[in-house]
């Protein structure tokens, strides 16, 4: 299960987050960054899944810097409202919230940064500017268009679908070319948000494959 906690950033900002812990000594800790829809139940389920794999997971509600309890539906006006909210966030605040969540992970254990869609873009930035031991990135939406010059300072795996309308194959190949040390998986028949069972582009087989690949990647790059 995951539970609600409060995190205090270095600038005094208080934000909500979801946290899930494994039953045994954690193998590491993961900061999970949400997509444009906010801290949806899907992100809570992702935290729970990390915990069942042996990792403590914390997912900050980044929109708390704008207002309380901002979570948007996947259809109707939700995408536009979520995009507008994400556009109001500024890099110093996002990075401060990520830093505070990372500090709340188990001391001495490897730290991982992860994110979905726009959260994947900010996971990419955090991996370039902060200290993490690995990055697991799910369809970072604007890595190519806005953040390609940033270079992750930790081992990184990225997951994209070959039918992603936000990050088309040409953009994905450009990421590969610019960052040959980054492991990029492309899943056939996968659209944007293929990992999220709450969205209509969910692809169960690709989601499971991406999860297995993520855990195998961490097994290969993190100390035991």
In whole angstroms, give the CA distance from residue 106 to residue 25: 9
- Write out pLDDT tens, residues 11-65: 999 999 999 999 999 999 999 999 999 999 999 999 999 999 999 999 999 999 9
Give the pLDDT score at 1: 84
- Write out pLDDT tens, residues 105-163: 999 999 999 999 999 999 999 999 999 999 999 999 999 999 999 999 999 999 999 99
Tell me the angle at which helices 118-129 and 91-103 cross, rounded to the nearest 10 degrees.
Answer: 70
CATH dotted code for 3-221: 3.40.50.1820
- Write out pLDDT tens, residues 88-103: 999 999 999 999 999 9
Closest to 38 (Cα-Cα) out of 11, 61, 22, 6: 61
Per the structure block, which two tokens stand in for 194?
A: 């293929």
pLDDT at 224 over 80: no
In whole angstroms, give the CA distance from residue 189 to residue 224: 35
pTM of this prediction? 0.97
In contact, 57 and 32? CB cutoff 8 Å: yes
Give the pLDDT score at 223: 85
pLDDT at 87 over 90: yes
Give me the residue spans of the domains in the chain: 3-221
* Cα torsion 163, 189, 194, 30: sign: negative
Q: What phi, psi does 208 have (nearest 5°)?
A: -65, -40
Which residue(s) pair with 3 in the sheet?
19
- Write out pLDDT tens, residues 199-221: 999 999 999 999 999 999 999 99
Per the structure block, which two tokens stand in for 100?
A: 């505070």
């Amino acid at each position: 299960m995951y539970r609600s906690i409060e995190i205090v950033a270095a600038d005094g900002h208080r934000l909500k987050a979801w946290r899930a812990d494994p039953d045994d000594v954690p193998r590491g800790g993961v900061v999970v960054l949400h997509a444009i829809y906010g801290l949806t139940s899907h992100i809570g389920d992702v935290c729970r899944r990390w915990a069942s794999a042996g990792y403590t997971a914390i997912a900050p509600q980044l929109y708390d810097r704008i207002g309380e309890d901002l979570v948007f539906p996947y259809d109707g006006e939700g995408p536009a409202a979520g995009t507008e909210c994400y556009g109001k966030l500024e890099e110093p605040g996002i990075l401060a919230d990520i830093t505070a969540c990372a500090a709340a992970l188990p001391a001495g254990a490897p730290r991982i940064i992860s994110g979905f869609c726009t959260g994947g873009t900010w996971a990419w930035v955090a991996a370039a500017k902060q200290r993490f031991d690995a990055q697991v990135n799910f369809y970072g939406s604007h890595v190519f268009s806005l953040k390609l010059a940033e270079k992750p300072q930790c081992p990184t795996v990225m997951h994209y679908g070959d039918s992603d309308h936000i990050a088309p194959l040409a953009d994905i190949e450009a990421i590969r070319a610019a960052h040959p040390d980054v492991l990029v998986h492309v899943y056939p028949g996968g659209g944007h948000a293929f990992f999220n069972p709450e969205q209509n582009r969910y692809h169960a087989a690709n989601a499971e494959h991406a999860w297995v690949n993520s855990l195998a990647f961490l097994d290969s790059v993190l100390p035991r």
